[in-house]
């Protein structure tokens, strides 16, 4: 389990005249836990056989419901008597303050095994339940109606739901378009043209934020007080963006083709050419980096800067981003004018020598 933005503990004792202590707990809410990459091998024995059949099936709704059950049971497995029922305690740190020392001292404790005990009878109850009864079973096992509706039951218009989200458009433009639509309430198709293009509309529909009904385009949720927060929340829980994010967490330099091939493995979508795989992978990585810029490796030098610029750009970028920007061309020209070697200029720009040579051969550096 991964916790972001953890800074540390700060303990301020009420008195320094006598020993005192405090127990600090790191907790997360059930709704904040996501299972992104559950594998068949995670389950053994009789439950493992049933789970394997589920993972090998094409019933995506049942798989999402099962992930909600895992989240619920994990939260229960990590709860304590002092925590709320919907809170998981990830870590507990006891601290002691003594008069003779200036700072609180953490009491040593054995390392956690990292394992969470799940209730196997509830896992099996879900896995043997008939298809179509998933929501009823989840409720009987303790999962709230609110969590189910938030994660599974978002309304969709079958005529306009276009498939899984890929995100060929700019996140900045899409966020602005969604905020405009929320402010206006609804528009017809001609009115949408004044807000954004058709690709933006498709992305917002596939994110579950916008729908078409009776010739009108309107938000799925009518009462939205903070469109920006709603937009980012939709991206953060989007399964394709979660997949790209999980791969970027493990390897910030993962290739676009690798992301798309994992997309094919997980969701069955087919892309025939490497060009298509690059475009899809680029798009998903861009959205993942936009919502969480720290996924860009800061050691990437000029490449890291260009990735962040691409993520925050308002322009649609569906293919490989060119490094032949006016600024880089000017730097290259200045380098050659100063008598620098081509390899030195290429390193300065964060490109290969062959790329720099192609610029020169094509006349861009004349």
| CA-wise closest residue to 148 among 244, 69, 83 | 69
Q: What is the mean pLDDT of residues 130-159?
A: 71
75-121 tens-digit pLDDT: 877 776 666 666 777 777 777 777 777 666 666 666 665 667 778 88
- For 197-209, write each residue's pLDDT tens digit: 888 998 999 888 9
DSSP secondary-structure letter at 108?
Answer: P
What is the pTM for the complete model shown? Answer: 0.43
Q: Is the pLDDT of residue 53 over 60?
A: yes
Please, which pLDDT band fits residue 156 given cuts at 50, 70 and 90?
A: very low
Residue 298's Cβ-count burial label (10 Å; 0-12, 13-18, 19+) is exposed
Burial label for 30, CB within 10 Å (0-12, 13-18, 19+), is buried
**Residue 318: per-residue pLDDT:** 45
CB distance 284 to 258 below 8 Å: no
pLDDT in tens, 278-336: 888 888 988 988 877 645 554 444 445 555 555 555 555 444 445 677 778 888 888 88
The pLDDT of residue 108: 65
The rounded distance, in Å, linking the Cα atoms of 63 and 134 is: 10
């Amino acid at each position: 389990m991964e916790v972001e933005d953890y800074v540390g503990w700060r303990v301020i004792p009420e008195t320094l005249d006598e020993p005192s202590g405090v127990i600090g707990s790191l907790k997360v809410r059930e709704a904040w836990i996501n299972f992104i990459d559950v594998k068949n091998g995670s389950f053994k024995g009789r439950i493992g056989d049933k789970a394997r059949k589920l993972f090998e099936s094409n019933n995506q709704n049942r798989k999402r419901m099962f992930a909600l059950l895992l989240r619920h049971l994990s939260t229960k497995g990590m709860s304590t008597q002092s925590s709320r029922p919907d809170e998981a305690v990830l870590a507990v740190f006891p601290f002691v303050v003594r008069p003779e020392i200036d700072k609180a001292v953490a009491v040593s404790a054995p390392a956690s095994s990292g394992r969470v005990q799940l209730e196997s009878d509830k896992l099996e109850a879900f896995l043997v339940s008939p298809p179509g009864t998933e929501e009823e079973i989840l409720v009987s096992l303790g999962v709230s109606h609110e969590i189910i509706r938030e994660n599974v039951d978002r309304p969709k218009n079958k005529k306009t739901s276009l498939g899984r989200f890929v995100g060929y458009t700019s996140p900045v433009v899409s966020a602005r378009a969604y905020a405009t639509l929320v402010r206006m309430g609804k528009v017809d198709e001609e009115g949408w043209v004044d807000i954004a293009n058709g690709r933006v509309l498709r992305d917002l529909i596939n994110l579950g934020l916008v729908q078409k009904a009776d010739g009108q385009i309107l938000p799925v949720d009518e009462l939205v007080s903070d469109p920006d927060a709603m937009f980012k929340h939709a991206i953060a829980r989007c399964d394709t963006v979660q997949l790209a994010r999980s791969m970027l967490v493990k390897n910030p330099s993962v290739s676009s083709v690798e992301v798309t091939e994992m997309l094919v493995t997980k969701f069955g979508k087919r892309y025939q050419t490497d060009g298509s795989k690059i475009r899809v992978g680029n798009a998903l990585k861009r959205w993942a980096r936009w919502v969480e810029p720290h996924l860009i490796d800061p050691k990437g030098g000029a490449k890291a800067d260009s990735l962040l610029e691409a993520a925050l750009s308002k322009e649609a970028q569906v293919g490989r981003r060119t490094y032949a920007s006016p600024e880089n061309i000017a730097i290259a020209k200045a380098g050659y004018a100063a008598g620098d070697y081509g390899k030195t200029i290429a390193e300065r720009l964060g490109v290969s020598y062959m790329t720099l040579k192609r610029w020169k051969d094509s006349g861009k550096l004349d």
